[in-house]
Amino acid sequence: MLEGKVAAVTGASSGIGRATALALARAGARVIAGARRAGRLDALASEIAAAGGTAIARPLDVAERASCEAFVRAAADEWGRVDILVNNAGLMPLSFVKRLKVDEWERMVDVNIKGVLYMTAAALPAMAEAKSGHIVNVSSVAGRLVFPAGSVYCGTKHFVTAFSEGLRQELSARSGIRVTCIEPGVVATELTSTITDESLSSFVEGAKKMEALRSEDIAASILYAVEAPAHVNVNEVLIRPREQER
């Protein structure tokens, strides 16, 4: 269904990004996979190639504007364009505000917010000129509600949800670019590995007792959005594990 399309996936070295890159390639897209851990990306590209798909791996730090621009340029050099951009890279070092983990707040702003902006800015001009394209932003249930120790993370994800809606209003009707905001609940990935606030260890362990979503579940929702007919704009997908209440 995605034959001929070029898809750029950020944060493709693990979790949701990795599963999404695999799913897009399986559906026929040529995939450029980015993240900082180059070894993992190379393994992913080999896995895609071994299954008969097409992928290239490129180191990417979404917190660096020049890196985002180079990433999109690499896709253009290889295949001439980017049709689908999946802004997935993100981190979640949850902590209570009173712990003043200001460096972690800054990192979340740099990756979860600025990373989405830089990647969008890098990919947008060619999409606007072609009057087609699809931007998929991975927000979160945390982009809809706020919970203790999530003040900053939820703030960054509220940004992603708001920015997605703004992009849709500005770009979909006028420039032919579709915009989808994905809002997962708990997904079993490495995401909690950045949490350094020790008072949250029981919360993190507690969340593991529930049957969480798998990265493949989110990849399937992204595939649903990008494979929809061109006149269909899947604006939001809110998806929780059945057992998750909030």
Q: Give CA–CA dist 26/130, Å, rounded.
A: 25
Told to judge if 153 belongs to the known catalytic residues of this protein, a careful annotator would answer yes
Instruction: Candidates 8, 25, 35, 75: give the one binding ligand NDP (CB under 6 A).
Output: 35
What amino acid occupies position 203?
A: F
**End-to-end alpha carbon distance in the chain:** 35
Give me the catalytic one of 153, 159, 186, 187.
153
Cβ atoms of residues 88 and 20 within 8 Å: yes
User: In Å, how far from its chain's centre is CA 65?
Assistant: 17
Q: Does 20 bind ligand NDP (CB under 6 A)?
A: no
Cβ atoms of residues 151 and 95 within 8 Å: no
Q: Please, which residues have CB within 8 angstroms of residue 102's CB and are 6 or more apart in sequence?
A: none
Query: Would you give the binding string for ligand NDP spanning residues 200-239, x where CB under 6 A is met?
Result: ----------------------------------------
Q: Write down the least CB distance from residue 129 to ligand NDP, Å.
A: 26
Instruction: Candidates 152, 154, 191, 225: give the one binding ligand NDP (CB under 6 A).
Output: 191
Query: 155-174: which residues touch ligand NDP (CB under 6 A)?
Result: none
Between the alpha carbon of residue 176 and those of residues 8, 24, 50, 115, 172, the distances in Å are: 18, 21, 34, 23, 5
Which CB atom, from 40 or from 128, has the smaller least distance to ligand NDP? 40
Q: Does 16 bind ligand NDP (CB under 6 A)?
A: yes
Tokens 């917010």 sit at which residue?
Answer: 113
Q: Does 137 bind ligand NDP (CB under 6 A)?
A: no
Please, what is the Cα angle at 26 between 25 and 29, to 5 degrees? 35
Instruction: Candidates 95, 120, 140, 164: give the one binding ligand NDP (CB under 6 A).
Output: 140
Active site residues: 153
Binding residues for ligand NDP, rule: CB under 6 A, are 10-17, 35-37, 60-63, 88-92, 111, 138, 140, 184, 186-187, 189-191
